[in-house]
Structure 1
C-alpha cells in the first residue's frame, strides 16, 4: 500500500500541486481523476490525509532550542522505520542548511505518516521535496533539492 500511496502523492505533486500552485483543486473532481488513473479510494483518502497533515504543519510555530551543539536523537520507532542511510541523509540535509530543525521534524513526521515499515531513500527525497515546496521561504532549498533529485548524471552530492 505504501508504494501506491507514495506513487499517488508523487502523481499529485507532479500533475496538480507543482503545475498549479495557486489553484486549490476540488477534492471531489481530483478524487475522480485519481480513480480514473487507477488509484483506489482508500489510497486517495490516505494521500489526502497525508497532505492535510502537511498543511497543518505549515501553521505550527517554529521550533526553538536547537543551537549549534544540539543533537537530534532518533526514537527506536524512527530507527526501525528509517534505516541508517535515510537518517544520515536527513542529518546531511540539516548540516548543509537545506533543512532547519523545524523542517527536519516535518520530514520525519511525514515519513512516519506513510505508515509503512520500508522507507527507502527515494521516499525520503520525495518527502523532503514536498515539505520544502509547502513551506514559505524555502524556495532556494527546494530548488537545490529538486536539482539534486533530477540531476541527469545522478550524482548524489554527499
Structure 2
C-alpha cells in the first residue's frame, strides 16, 4: 500500500491534480501495481480525503464567544490547543504506532511543524494503516500524505527529515 501512496505523492504532488479514485485506480493498474495494494491504498486515501475535508469545513465558531480564535490559523470549528494541554494516546494507539512513531510525532509537534488538527489526522490514518507496530518510514509517508491532502508542502527541513534515510547519518 505504501508504494502506491508514494507513487501518488510523487506523480500528483499537487493534490488537486490527482484524478478521482476510480480513474486513479485504472492509472495505478496500468502502471503495474497489484489490485490488492491499489484497493488498500484507495480505501486509505478515501479516509484521508474525508478527514481533510471535515477538518477544513469544520463547525463555525461564534466570534462573539471567542474573538481571539478568529485571529489564529486554526481551521474553523476547532479550538486551539493550549500550551499546557497534553495529548494522551490510548493503549491501542500506543501498541499500533509504537514508541518510535509516537516519538517522531512528538518531535514534529514540538518543532511546530505539525499542528494539532493535522496530528489527529496523522494518528487516524496511521491507525488505519497495516503494521503492528507501524514502521517509522511508513509514518513519514503518512505525514507527507496529510500535508498533501491539505495542499501544503512541508518546510524544506521537514521535507528533508521525512524523505531522507536517517540510517546512515553520522551524529556530530
**TM-score normalized by the length of structure 2:** 0.73
Question: In the alignment, which of 137, 149, 152 is matched to residue 162 of structure 2?
Answer: 149
Say if 2:9 and 2:148, in contact at 8 Å, map to a contact too.
no
CA gap 1:46/1:80 in 2 versus in 1, 3 angstroms:
same
Aligned to 2:147: 132
1:54 and 1:76 map into 2 onto residues whose CA distance is 23
Over the aligned positions, Cα root-mean-square deviation in angstroms equals 2.6
Aligned to 1:13: 9
Aligned to 1:54: 48
Q: Mind listing any 5+ residue stretches in structure 1 that lack a counterpart?
A: none
Aligned to 1:94: 109
Say if 2:4 and 2:41, in contact at 8 Å, map to a contact too.
yes
Deviation at 1:30, TM superposition (A): 3.1
Deviation at 1:33, TM superposition (A): 3.1
Deviation at 1:9, TM superposition (A): 0.9
Which has the greater radius of gyration? 2
Aligned to 1:70: 85
**CA offsets 1:111-137 (integer angstroms, 9 cap, x no match):** 11113323111111111111112225x
Deviation at 1:88, TM superposition (A): 0.9
1:152 and 1:112 map into 2 onto residues whose CA distance is 23
Q: Does 1:43 align with 2:37?
A: yes
**TM-score normalized by the length of structure 1:** 0.79
Q: Mind listing any 5+ residue stretches in structure 2 that lack a counterpart?
A: 59-74
CA gap 1:111/1:152 in 2 versus in 1, 3 angstroms:
closer
2:26 and 2:3 map into 1 onto residues whose CA distance is 16
1:86 and 1:27 map into 2 onto residues whose CA distance is 28
Aligned residue pair count: 149
